[in-house]
Amino acid sequence: MSEIFPTRVREGGIAVGAATQWLFGFTLSQVTPAAVNNLGWKAFLMFCCFNWALVLYTWFFIKETKGLSLEEMDILFNAKRTPISVLSYRHEEKSSDDDV
């Protein structure tokens, strides 16, 4: 989780992210028994639908950051560049170093 926040707000972002994860874990553990009592096996179908919705959201809306440094991710998210332009930025940076 630490890779997704800019350096200046990383500590606070990690704290909020961890607290949110604990909060939703607690909420889920409190809601599940009531859902199973009221819905039966359909409660698990409901959770399955929520998970697939999150998979689709991640697939279509979350940007890929594999192989990028923190500085490159900062360029990607703050300058509104596409991953292709960040990769071309990396290529230009490496080619200029090779000429020296």
What are 16-51's pLDDT values in tens digits?
999 999 999 999 999 999 999 999 999 999 999 999
> 3-state SS string over the chain?
CHHHCCHHHHHHHHHHHHHHHHHHHHHHHHHHHHHHHHHCCHHHHHHHHHHHHHHHHHHHHCCCCCCCCHHHHHHHHHCCCCHHHHHHHHHHHHHHHHHC
Same domain, 20 and 51: yes
Same domain, 55 and 24: yes
Domains in the chain, number: 2
Owning domain of residue 10 = 1-62
Same domain, 86 and 71: yes
Same domain, 18 and 40: yes
Same domain, 37 and 25: yes
Same domain, 40 and 71: no
Report the alpha-carbon distance of residue 70 to residue 7 in Å, rounded: 8
Same domain, 58 and 83: no
Whether the model clears a pTM of 0.85, i.e. scores above it, the answer is no
